[in-house]
Structure 1
Amino acid sequence: MMNAIIEITNLRLRTFIGFNDEEKTKQQDIVINAEIHYPLRSGCLEDQVSDALNYKTITKAIIKHVESGRFLLLEKLVADVLGICSEHKDVTYAKVKIDKPHALRFADSVSLSLDIHCNHTKEK
């Protein structure tokens, strides 16, 4: 069986991230990169939309969660987005990296990555 890998690259959003006073009152830019693995069903090769993992649905869920949320720690934000990326029963592996551009004076950004190997159990 073939494996498919969805890559969401440089999804640029704004959210409240951080615990300093200024960070709590002013939204900051973040950049999200995600990688989602799942087994490719034969229907995908026959152009059957219902057999594919819908990356647009995943991306919309990420956008809604990030833009409506407030996060003290980058770890929490990354874990939440990873949860969204890995919640579908067909996902076998997911990795999320989020950058905070200009978080440090002499650095382009600060980033944090988390990944998970998924073992979803089939519903009975």
Structure 2
Amino acid sequence: MTEDCLQLRGLRVMALCGALPEERVRAQPFELDVDIGADLAPSGETDDLGDTIDYGEVCAAVCAAAEGGQFTLMEAMAQRVAEVCLEADRRVLWVTVEVRKLRPPVPQHLSTSGVRITRDRQ
């Protein structure tokens, strides 16, 4: 695996994700961080957008996947986002996705709940 990494931080989406009945019908805020492993040397040398992964396109695809789906578990949302990232560009070697629920439905004072997964090209 290359150590080069494109980092996307704090992408906010409104999505249907949760096990409780109200979470199944009312979108709630989530924050995503996405790390994309790819060889960034070519774009570092050429300074040409065509030689790298367009993070604007990745953000649009991630938002569409998260906001367009309905998930019971954050694990499933993270898996779908990872699949979209791996499909977005053949140069993507691996992806790490963090999904954080910004309003977890628990009685304790909990800022966020979340998951982190890493998937690679197989």
- Determine the C-alpha separation between the residues in 2 that align with 1:70 and 1:117: 24
- Runs of 4+ in structure 1 deviating by more than 6 angstroms, as ranges, are none
- Determine the C-alpha separation between the residues in 2 that align with 1:83 and 1:95: 11
Determine which structure has the larger strand proportion and give its number: 1
2:101 aligns to what?
100
**TM-score, with normalisation over the residues of structure 1?**
0.85
2:62 aligns to what?
62
Identity of aligned residues (%): 19
User: What one-letter code is carried by the residue in structure 2 that aligns with 1:89?
Assistant: R
1:118 aligns to what?
121
**SS of the counterpart of 1:75?**
helix
2:13 aligns to what?
13
Unaligned runs of 5+ in 1: 120-124
Deviates more, 1:104-113 or 1:29-38: 104-113
- Determine the C-alpha separation between the residues in 1 that align with 2:98 and 2:36: 12
User: What one-letter code is carried by the residue in structure 2 that aligns with 1:95?
Assistant: T
**TM-score, with normalisation over the residues of structure 2?**
0.86
**SS of the counterpart of 2:75?**
helix
CA RMSD of aligned residues (A): 1.7
8 A contact 1:3–1:40 mirrored in 2: no
8 A contact 2:5–2:40 mirrored in 1: no
- Determine the C-alpha separation between the residues in 2 that align with 1:14 and 1:102: 12
Shift in CA distance, 91/25, structure 1 to aligned 2, threshold 3 Å: same
Deviations 1:54-110 (A, max 9, x none): 111111001111112211111110100111122222112210000001213321011
**SS of the counterpart of 2:57?**
helix
**SS of the counterpart of 2:4?**
strand
The correspondence of residues 66-105 of structure 1 with structure 2, limited to 5 A, is: 66-87=66-87, 88-103=89-104, 104-105=106-107
Shift in CA distance, 70/39, structure 1 to aligned 2, threshold 3 Å: same
Aligned length, in residue pairs:
118
